[in-house]
Structure 1
Amino acid sequence: MNNPKTKILIIDDDLDYCALITETLIDQYQCYFAHDGQSALDQFAAVQPSLVMLDLGLPDMPGLALCEKLASAANGNPYALFVVSGDSSIDTKLKAFAMGADDFIGKPFEIKELISRIERDLKLLKERHALQQSHQEAYQLVEVTMKQASQYSYVMSFFKNLNACTDVEGVIQTFFDAMRFFRLRASISVRKPTPMMLDFNGAQLSPIEANVYETIANKGRLFEFGQRLMVNGKHVSFLVKNMPADDAVKGEVRDYTAAIVEGLEAKLEDLSLRSGMTQAIADLKQTVADISSAINEHNTIVNSVLSNMLTKISSSYHLLELTEIQEDFFTKLVEEGVINLSQSEGALFNTQVDLHRLIKQLEALKLV
């Protein structure tokens, strides 16, 4: 038996628009419709769709308010929220994201783009759900650990763990461990040395969240909107999605997240420098190898030329009818040339030894 089609709930008061969307999606998805806020809530509860397409301009209820009601009615069931609006301003996008939207598209839009983004959003939803299930036991273990240490002692432990990281993936894992300790849901955007964006469960970011990073990653060290806090550094930013309501606790979060981003910055800079030094050492090794090869080739050619020269000169003495004094002069001249070339070869050999010593010093410095 074929698998049932994925359910999509389309909430819009424009009947022509709904008909167009139906014609576009009906072959691949099972489509349901609602034309106002209350019927949308009723349909949502009855259908339990995997994706909700919500137009913000509804007749009986503000679209952003409906976002919040849908989240409450979901009872933990996963779904993707795709917001559609004629207002594509950053303020509207931020408000939609703060209310839980996974994607945003402005009217008018291309049908091909809509289909592509629906497929992507459903794929991300499936990946997040699978990762959430696989990480549930790990989260429970972390929660037990969280109860055994204070906030500030954990910050010290965080820096120690961070110092032991040898790659960007380890840094990100250490960051997420810290967020779980503080009971914070967060995502992270790393720009150096390897660009990547990940959510707290290891999934890719939704398109709208990625857009939020691009928009406010340069808005100062701390940027707070709604129940969210963006913490920005030069090479890394992270977004706390569940800021506490209590002002005192919120102040504590600001304090230790500011310390955490400083640690992340320092470690990512260190990894970048180590990566650059590793590449520089590799390049230097190749250069030394090339020099050695060139010297060996040069020596082979010079020795061959000198050997031929000596043979020809020796065999030509009787033809040139040179005196004994002249023969001795030419012989000594050639011998002096050979000695000078040998001394030059020794200097080149010493240069190779010095370069190898420099490589060893750089490799030792990299390990410090």
Structure 2
Amino acid sequence: MVIVSPRFNPPEFVPEVLDSLLQGSPVATFVIDGQHRVTHWNRACELVTGIPAAEIIGSSDHWRGFYAAPRPILADYIVAGEIEQAMRNYEAGHCKASEVVVGAYEAEGFFPSLGERGCWLYFTAAPVLGPGGEVIGAIETLQNITARKLAEQALLDQNSALEAAVAERTRALEQNNAELRALLQERCELQEQVGSASSTAFSAMSSMGEMGVLLQALQRFNSCQQAGELAQLVLDTLVSYELVGAVELRLPGQAVRMFPDSGGLEAATFANLRDMGRIVGFHSRMIVNYPCLSILVSNMPRDDERAGRIRDNLAILAEAADARVRALDAELRRQQGEAAISGSLAGINKLLAAIEGRQKQSMAETRMAIHRLGETLEKRFVHLGLTEQQERYLLETVRDGLDGLIDAQDGQLDIQSELSAIIHRLTDAV
């Protein structure tokens, strides 16, 4: 440490005008010479450090304004040419070269001994050059950035609090999602229990505007027995919504299309749009596609809220109508199958009746032939010269064989009768 006499005079490189300028500056500033002695210590610096200029000028004790023990400050490092050491002594990122003045450096740090609760200072130190460009001193300014640092810390604290709040909110949302999933599961279980109340619910809700229109249409779908009737009901529902549109129902081998007041819609429009997706909107038009049905609307409302409700209702309407089309197709296939089976059974029954008649006739003719054979044998026995006992024995033997033949034919007739009874039962069941 260098001790300077109170009679120390500032070096000649500092003009008197510089002292006047520094004293009038609101920025805390001090100057040291090449021997690290303070040459200037303005009023603002006195207020920041709490040390009067009279106690510090001429000495190398400028460290007292910032530290509890002697140590170099930024200006000392610049005068000594040891700025790399300064970079190592400050925290990472708290000391860097100035972007404005060549050879100047900036740093910041917290000083717990300044003020009641410590103080954050921002330093800027630059070399003072002599006529030959040599460093003959350094000038350093101080700015109190405590308010900025407190604001930054407050912002960090606020961000931390927000992150904690977001995390807590996320946990709450996850819990709510779990509760919603449980409620959905409970809803699925309850849906099986509300079947008996559906008719009352439909009646109560039928007067509820757009939803009432949809519910009335759904109720009437089951009564539709023809594809054309179902298509007309869908169009009537569109009219109830004040919509202009068309409908196409697709059954195996046929398509039912209705285009009343369709606003220029044509059959080709369905062919172009029915494979584009489930629900496709374009300007004021929208199409709802299902495997067996498409609904095309040409004047969808512009109001987003009502358009959303109408879109949802039409999706439900189309899904229910598609299910009814498939049910009609299944019913048609069932009726065609029953008709085919009935026709086949009738033909089989007729054939069995003819076979039974021929068998009965054959049995009658067989009995007559057996009777005539018995009479013929009795007549022929006379010419054989057999005894009466031999004739009787031979005749009984022949008759037993013929009776066995007749019994076998009767058994076949019984089987035919059972088969006819089965055919009659199948016909009645169909």
TM-score band w.r.t. shorter chain: 0.5 to 0.7
8 Å CA contact 1:310, 1:334 repeated in 2: no
How far does the alpha carbon of each residue in 1:112-168 deviate from its partner, in whole angstroms, 9 at most, with x for none? xxxxxxxxxxxxxxxxxxxxxxxxxxxxxxxxxxx9641112211110111221211
Aligned to 1:230: 287
Matching residue within 197, 200, 208 for 2:257: 197
Q: Does 1:176 align with 2:251?
A: no
User: How far is the alpha carbon of 1:287 from its aligned partner?
Assistant: 1.6
- Structure 1 residue identity aligned to 2:256: M
8 Å CA contact 2:356, 2:413 repeated in 1: no
Aligned to 2:218: 159
Aligned to 2:245: 186
**TM-score, normalised relative to structure 1:** 0.53
8 Å CA contact 2:217, 2:237 repeated in 1: yes
How many Å separate the matches in 1 of 2:223 and 2:288?
A: 23
How many Å separate the matches in 1 of 2:207 and 2:420?
A: 61
Higher helix share: 1
Structure 1 segments unaligned to the other structure (5+ residues): 1-146, 360-368
8 Å CA contact 2:279, 2:289 repeated in 1: yes
Aligned to 1:291: 348
8 Å CA contact 1:166, 1:271 repeated in 2: yes
- Within-5 A mapping of 1:22-33: none
Aligned to 1:355: 426
SS in 1 for 2:296: strand
Aligned to 2:302: 245
Q: Does 1:309 align with 2:366?
A: yes
How many Å separate the matches in 2 of 1:182 and 1:168?
A: 22
Higher relative contact order (CA 8 A, sep 6+): 1
8 Å CA contact 1:192, 1:236 repeated in 2: no
User: How far is the alpha carbon of 1:357 from its aligned partner?
Assistant: 3.4
- Within-5 A mapping of 1:59-138: none
SS in 2 for 1:195: strand
How many Å separate the matches in 2 of 1:198 and 1:172?
A: 7
Aligned to 2:409: 338
SS in 2 for 1:281: helix
How many Å separate the matches in 1 of 2:220 and 2:327?
A: 14
8 Å CA contact 1:190, 1:235 repeated in 2: yes
Q: Does 1:280 align with 2:351?
A: no
How many Å separate the matches in 1 of 2:257 and 2:283?
A: 22
How many Å separate the matches in 1 of 2:350 and 2:373?
A: 35
The percent identity for this pair of structures is 18
**TM-score, normalised relative to structure 2:** 0.46
8 Å CA contact 2:231, 2:248 repeated in 1: no
How many Å separate the matches in 1 of 2:292 and 2:368?
A: 68
8 Å CA contact 2:359, 2:413 repeated in 1: no
User: How far is the alpha carbon of 1:293 from its aligned partner?
Assistant: 0.6
User: How far is the alpha carbon of 1:325 from its aligned partner?
Assistant: 3.1
How far does the alpha carbon of each residue in 1:41-93 deviate from its partner, in whole angstroms, 9 at most, with x for none? xxxxxxxxxxxxxxxxxxxxxxxxxxxxxxxxxxxxxxxxxxxxxxxxxxxxx
User: How far is the alpha carbon of 1:342 from its aligned partner?
Assistant: 2.9
How many Å separate the matches in 1 of 2:227 and 2:371?
A: 69
CA RMSD of aligned residues (A): 2.4
8 Å CA contact 2:228, 2:256 repeated in 1: no
Aligned to 1:51: none
In the alignment of these two chains, the number of paired residues is 210
Aligned to 2:399: 328
Matching residue within 254, 274, 279 for 2:311: 254
How many Å separate the matches in 1 of 2:427 and 2:207?
A: 51
How far does the alpha carbon of each residue in 1:94-124 deviate from its partner, in whole angstroms, 9 at most, with x for none? xxxxxxxxxxxxxxxxxxxxxxxxxxxxxxx
SS in 2 for 1:188: strand
- Structure 1 residue identity aligned to 2:424: V
- Within-5 A mapping of 1:134-149: 149=208
- Structure 2 residue identity aligned to 1:357: D
8 Å CA contact 1:236, 1:261 repeated in 2: yes
How many Å separate the matches in 2 of 1:148 and 1:357?
A: 46
Structure 2 segments unaligned to the other structure (5+ residues): 1-205, 382-390
